[in-house]
Structure 1
Amino acid sequence: MGVVVNADSSDSSGLSGSSDSSGSSDSSRASNVSNVSNASSVDSGADSGRVPERAAADAPARSRAARAPVGRPCSVASTLGVVGEKWALLAIREMGFGNHRFDTIARNTGAPRDILTTRLRALEAAGVLERRRYQDRPPRFEYHLTARGRDLGPVLQTLAAWGDRWLTDEPPVDFRHGDHALDPALMCRGCGEEVLPGSMHVHVRVPGWDLAGPVD
């Protein structure tokens, strides 16, 4: 039996079933995502425990995000703008596994520390994770997934299932659901049936676009 993977689900268990409380609000998704463009300007102090300086202001980032996107307007493109990079997804994987400290995340992902710092700051700016102080002198923080970040759990589980099927003879990690291996599937809540390739159609809602591209 497949496990329901819904795009609008709010999985409160993360990737490994561990629960992380979230102080972030998802009331304004677009403004949080827009802050990602500020991440490269933040200094890399996560490994030393220093508190990196936040971007001077969010307004310029929001202004840049408000510009018309290049190519087809699409939530896939918007999502990849936040998590569509190897180290970002692997950091999210580690937090889902219950690993929250910078050194552990760096070790388990193999990410260069300066790049990992930038990715974590970008994920925080996008509302995917939050920092929680665990030491005052010097100030040091753990990284925890917010509700928005935990909602990526089914995405990573599906990626893992695809990799297990096509890229390896022996899966390196087993995701378990109860007493059996997880077999993720996309299910339609409207009818309760599994969504198979070719069984749905796409309705383009953005003015000036159809499935073939821009409409002249």
Structure 2
Amino acid sequence: MRWEELDQQPCSLARTLSVVGDRWTLLVLRDCFLGVRRFDDFEARLGVTRHVLADRLKRLVEAGVLAKVPYQERPRREEYRFTEKGRDLYQAVMALVSWGDRYMAGAEGAPIRHRHKGCGQVMHGVLVCSECGEPLVPKEIELEEAPEWQGQLLPAHRHARSVEG
């Protein structure tokens, strides 16, 4: 599998990585969720070269994750705003943040706290079942190929299987 062909793979993770699978792209998304909108602010916060930053922002716009929105007419200046598609990445980013808070934080602990406005409590993201609300645990999840992909994606000896845990 070639990196340039990830978006053609019959795998949702591979297709997603074709859009967000770069460290600079993930850091741009992080900063967007922190409220950064303008090119110069991204550049100053990330310390990335202008060329790399411009490329990552362009790709996110082309993928429909961000939109360029004018904030000034003369001279015309634009900022980057999430589309619905981009906002829907929040859960994925929060899952990575939660993992990092648990396994990569130093002795000081997590560098940023997330407070849920609804209940006022400091929280961490938990992925739950869309149907029953139970937390998702790998050994409790069974994978099965969609009928149109039957026999093409999972190992040949198992067409339905539990996630390895």
Q: Which runs of 5+ in 1 are unaligned?
A: 1-36, 38-63
Shift of 1:137: 3.5
Matched, 1:198 2:145: no
Partner of 2:89: 152
How far apart, CA to CA, are the structure 2 residues paired with 1:75 and 1:187? 19
Aligned with 1:97 (options 21, 31, 34): 34
Partner of 1:212: 155
Equivalent residues of 2:25, 2:56 under 8 A apart: yes
What code does the residue aligned with 2:15 have?
A: S
Q: Provide TM-score, normalisation by structure 2.
A: 0.81
Matched, 1:186 2:127: yes
Aligned with 1:172 (options 107, 111, 116): 111
Shift of 1:65: 8.7
Partner of 2:161: none
The structure carrying a bigger helix percent of its residues is 2
Listed as ranges, the matches of 1:1-216 within 5 Å are: 69=9, 73-169=10-106, 170-178=109-117, 179-205=120-146, 206-212=149-155
Shift of 1:208: 4.3
How far apart, CA to CA, are the structure 2 residues paired with 1:117 and 1:145? 16
* Structure of higher RCO (CA pairs closer than 8 Å, 6+ residues apart): 1
Equivalent residues of 2:6, 2:17 under 8 A apart: no
Question: What is the identity percentage for the equivalent residue pairs of Structure 1 and Structure 2?
Answer: 37
How far apart, CA to CA, are the structure 2 residues paired with 1:155 and 1:87? 16
How far apart, CA to CA, are the structure 2 residues paired with 1:127 and 1:121? 10
Q: Which contiguous aligned blocks of 4+ residues in structure 1 show a shift greater than 6 angstroms? A: none
Q: Which runs of 5+ in 2 are unaligned?
A: 157-165
Q: Provide TM-score, normalisation by structure 1.
A: 0.63
How far apart, CA to CA, are the structure 2 residues paired with 1:187 and 1:65? 27
Shift of 1:108: 1.5
How far apart, CA to CA, are the structure 2 residues paired with 1:101 and 1:143? 6
CA gap of 1:74–1:107, structure 2 versus 1, over 3 A, is: same
Equivalent residues of 1:92, 1:145 under 8 A apart: no
